[in-house]
Amino acid sequence: MSEKLVQLKEILGEVSDLGSAGSILSWDQQVNMPPAGAEARGQQLATLGKIAQEKFTSDEVGSLLEDLKKEYTDPETDEGALIRVTARTYEKAKSVPAEFIAEQAIAATKGVEAWVEAKSKSDFSIFRPHLEKNVELVKKYVSFFPPADHPYDTLLDDYEPGMKTAEVREIFGNLRPKQVALIKAISESKQVKSEFLNKSYNEKKVWDFGEAIITKFGYDFNRGRQDKAPHPFETTFNVNDVRITNRYEKNAPLATLFSAMHECGHALYELGSNPAYERTPLAGGTSLAVHESQSRMWENLVGRSLPFWEHFYPELKKTFPTQLDGVSLKSFYRAINKVEPSFIRVNADEATYNLHIMLRLEIEIGLVDGSMEVKDLPEIWNAKMRDYLGVTPPNDRQGVLQDIHWSYGSIGYFSTYALGNIVSAQLWEQINKEIKDLDEQIRKGQFGELREWLRAKIHVHSHKYDPQDIVKKVTGSTIDSAAYVRYLTKKYSEVYGL
């Protein structure tokens, strides 16, 4: 390793450490911090963010990168990938003043606390000024970069490197009519019964059952933990400290199980990251769409499958004998896969979920290009819910305030959830070609071969390859919705007898 590469990695390590420290503060804010600590926490995050930005965008880093580009030219080597990814990140970061990073951190911290209060009171007016500030900062952020085909491109690139707004719109445009047609066919079929899912379930027993599931998946509690938070999330401090959070909802108690599986999917990706990439820009997942493909796969393609519950349902029924009395495995399986337009994205069934995402994408694009204003969002949200799903949220809590993302300024993020669904199905088809008895393994509660396949094909490469490249390497195709349509059609034809 050249002396200059050693110098660069030392600086990158320090920047990574600062980012990890900020992540710990953010995790603590949502898990432990008393509400009154928000202002000071915002300042702490602002200081760390500003220092990290200044250190990373220094002339020294720029000079080292220019020299190392000439020395490490093979993109397939770890060194070549590190220089390529770091240089791209450096060019974007160099365009953003450190003062702006600090301002955004303070706004995000205040925004999260305002969102928590607004959601608890179902009052959008509490959150409105903070969201207006975040949208203002997002527009300012976009202005730091050369004009793109669409201003939203700049934001999308932060989460899905290289992807354009037009590409996402095309993918969604192809997918939406097929999902709408499937939903229509299902709506004309006899609906399944699911009342037993909404009975009262002991919170601790549900929580413990979820932890037993993800332990079998391979989540290592020596390298992670699960805590309560207002909105489930996964966060990584290093390859040996990957944490998840979850929540319990009285009106959807078993949703806790699927949230645990979802966040575990994210965590397994991070836990499987190549340790050699630690404290560099290569660490962690390559993009949010690929990340979401992992979480949605474990939650849905595994966790909502019949073989999965053939293994786990007897124990679940033993744990909740009163709630599940007289409920057969087939009835339970159909219930957890019931298709019904609903208000809450994270609890939406697979057939309607992407429509929730498309709605949010339209709103984000409207906020960024100025065709929509924050003050009108509750009405816009409800109108689009009627248009997309045929339902109207009864209040702000179940409508425009349900997601945490906008509170900390994450605009450009939502489309990656639907893209992740699409990628998960592409990977699933390939997995089933290579692991012939996968259903039988899942039926026996054996997940090791699946986990290790994902680790070898996806996780260990971390950020070495761009998202479209890694998807094509594994499946032979870039992101394409055909496999997802096949998956949904087959599954719901069986569930509903279409």
**Any idea which residues carry the catalytic annotation?**
263
Measured CA to CA in angstroms, residue 14 lies from 21, 55, 278, 283 at distances of 11, 8, 11, 14
Strands 226-228 and 234-238: unpaired
Measured CA to CA in angstroms, residue 85 lies from 55, 62, 75, 266 at distances of 17, 13, 10, 21
Q: Report the candidate in 299, 333, 347, 316 with the shortest Cα–Cα distance to residue 205.
A: 316
Q: 420 near 168, Cβ under 8 Å?
A: no
DSSP letter string, 255-269 = HHHHHHHHHHHHHHH
Q: In what order do the strands lie in the sheet with 234-238?
A: 226-228, 241-246, 234-238
Residue 394: exposure state from Cβ atoms within 10 A (0-12, 13-18, ≥19): exposed
Residue 369: exposure state from Cβ atoms within 10 A (0-12, 13-18, ≥19): middle
H-run or E-run covering 226: strand 226-228
Map tokens 């200081």 to a residue.
Answer: 47
Residue 241: exposure state from Cβ atoms within 10 A (0-12, 13-18, ≥19): middle
Dihedral pair phi/psi, residue 148, rounded to 5°: -105, 175
